[in-house]
Amino acid sequence: MADRSQHLIGLLLGAEEDWPQAFEALLRRVPPITDPAGRTHEFVSERLSIEPFDLNDPVRVELVIDRLAYWYYHPREWLKKAALMNGTYLLNSPFTFQSMEKHSAYCAMLRLGLKIPRTVLVPYKNPVDNVRWAYTSAKYNQPFDLDAIADDLGYPMYMKPFDGGGWRGVSRINNRDDLHQAYDESGEMLMHLQATVEYDKFARALSIGAETMVMDFRPDEPMHNRYAVSHDFLSPSAGHQAVAISRIVNAFFGWEFNSCEMLVKGDSVHPIDYANACPDVAITSLHYYFPWAISALVKWSVFSLATGRKTSVDLHTERYFAIADDDSLDYDAKIDAYLALADEYFDTARYQAWCAENLPSFDEQLVEWVSGPDFDRLLTETVAATYPAHEQEKFLAHFRGLTSLWVTDQSVSR
């Protein structure tokens, strides 16, 4: 049966049941797809388990959506083997996520001229416990004036780990007392000090392959209310930059499933956190945007497999840096030039055309599924697993309201 390929998608999962079930339900709705060469592609998924493996073992999965490797070494090392020996397609590649944490992402995007707030890396408060450190420390570890650095940055500022995520170790520093307390408490975490952006809007962009959704994020709200459903909360210029920047970051690093947080003041867009190997896609936080996110994951996966898309760990940074160094281009022109590279990387136009041609009724089926009993069961189960009994009714109503608003909006926009 040379003209038939069955593609296996592996899910490496943490403590989440909502989006994997949605992904599996939607993947079952993807029809067999016949390519121009006459080969028919079918798609199945499997939840991967963690087991010993021989480095020479064959790898069955052609694409993995990974939610573990950032924290757990065993699945991480298996992913690397799969990528190197089998060409397995990864969302995301540990080769670039492991080496390029938040700090590198800041450096790279500063190099591209993006508006990252001023950031200083300070040495460890408590260096790693290593017998050789005493000698190095005495000889090379220079004393430094933390207050002088802070005065230069200006209060208030943020202190946060160089490789942060999930608000771990983040504090807002209003004065010298806060500064010293936070630094003393940082212990063995390596910290940035970062100038505060006084922002009007917090934009959180979720990018999945060639698709990007920029959402109005309200970090001070409780989890269920953090994403506002608002479509024009940024000016056209800021909205364009937000989409472009999140896609540029991903293309630059070869990340395919990532969120990018930007603080927006007027038309100025300041990216502050955009290396999230395991972005939040919970139905209880994304609600309205959840169907879009999971359908983008399905479409991007099947597009990548059916078209034989390959990833590599070569980043080709010089193509971006050549634009950065071109003095004839202003900031906006550079953003557009980077975006062109990013869209080339993600094959954006081809992806859209491919989906239109090969998945013509998928969006309709998505709406049907989100309106139906299977989705409601998933939502009910997730709410039951997430909230205490006395709050479940309230939250179920809240999320049902938002997801049915999404359903209504789809029929209006079609």
Ligand X SMILES: Nc1ncnc2c1ncn2[C@@H]1O[C@H](COP(=O)(O)OP(=O)(O)O)[C@@H](O)[C@H]1O
* 96 sits in which H/E element: helix 94-97
Among 216, 256, 273, 343, binds Mg ion (CB under 5 A): 273
Strands of 119-122's sheet in order across: 119-122, 191-195, 157-161, 171-173
Binding piece for Mg ion, criterion CB under 5 A, among 241-249, 255-263, 352-360, 394-402: 255-263
Tell whether residue 155 is a contact of ligand X (CB under 6 A).
no
The Cα 11–Cα 90 span in angstroms is 10
**Tokens standing for residue 230:** 């608002």
Tell whether residue 343 is a contact of Mg ion (CB under 5 A).
no
Tell whether residue 280 is a contact of Mg ion (CB under 5 A).
no
Residue 158: which of ligand X, Mg ion, none does it interact with, CB under 5 to 8 A by kind? ligand X
Tell whether residue 25 is a contact of ligand X (CB under 6 A).
no
Contact 106, 119 (CB under 8 A): yes
| Cα–Cα nearest to 328, from 340, 315, 337, 319 | 337
Among 81, 117, 237, 329, binds ligand X (CB under 6 A): 117
Binding piece for ligand X, criterion CB under 6 A, among 45-53, 162-170, 288-296, 369-377: 162-170
Shortest CB 278 distance to Mg ion, Å: 12
Among 71, 73, 144, 167, binds ligand X (CB under 6 A): 167
Cα→Cα distances 377→18, 33, 380, 382, 392, Å: 10, 29, 5, 8, 14
Binding piece for ligand X, criterion CB under 6 A, among 133-141, 159-167, 236-244, 282-290: 159-167
Query: Residue 21 or residue 259: which is nearer to ligand X going by CB?
Result: 259
Query: Residue 103 or residue 125: which is nearer to ligand X going by CB?
Result: 103
Other CB atoms within 10 Å distance of the CB of residue 43: 22
| Cα–Cα nearest to 52, from 24, 87, 77 | 77
Please confirm whether the linkage preceding 130 is cis (ω < 30° from 0): no
Tell whether residue 52 is a contact of ligand X (CB under 6 A).
no
**Angle CA(19)–CA(20)–CA(25) in degrees, nearest 5?**
95
Shortest CB 262 distance to Mg ion, Å: 11
Residue 164: which of Mg ion, ligand X, none does it interact with, CB under 5 to 8 A by kind? ligand X
Contact 87, 244 (CB under 8 A): no
Tell whether residue 261 is a contact of ligand X (CB under 6 A).
yes
Tell whether residue 260 is a contact of ligand X (CB under 6 A).
no
The Cα 365–Cα 291 span in angstroms is 11
Tell whether residue 196 is a contact of ligand X (CB under 6 A).
yes
Query: Residue 105 or residue 298: which is nearer to ligand X going by CB?
Result: 105
Cα→Cα distances 25→28, 93, 397, Å: 5, 25, 23
Tell whether residue 144 is a contact of ligand X (CB under 6 A).
no
Binding piece for ligand X, criterion CB under 6 A, among 69-77, 131-139, 189-197, 331-339: 189-197
Contacts with Mg ion, residue ranges (CB under 5 A)? 261, 273
Summarize as ranges the residues that interact with ligand X (CB under 6 A): 117, 158, 160, 164-168, 170, 194, 196-197, 219, 261, 263, 272-273
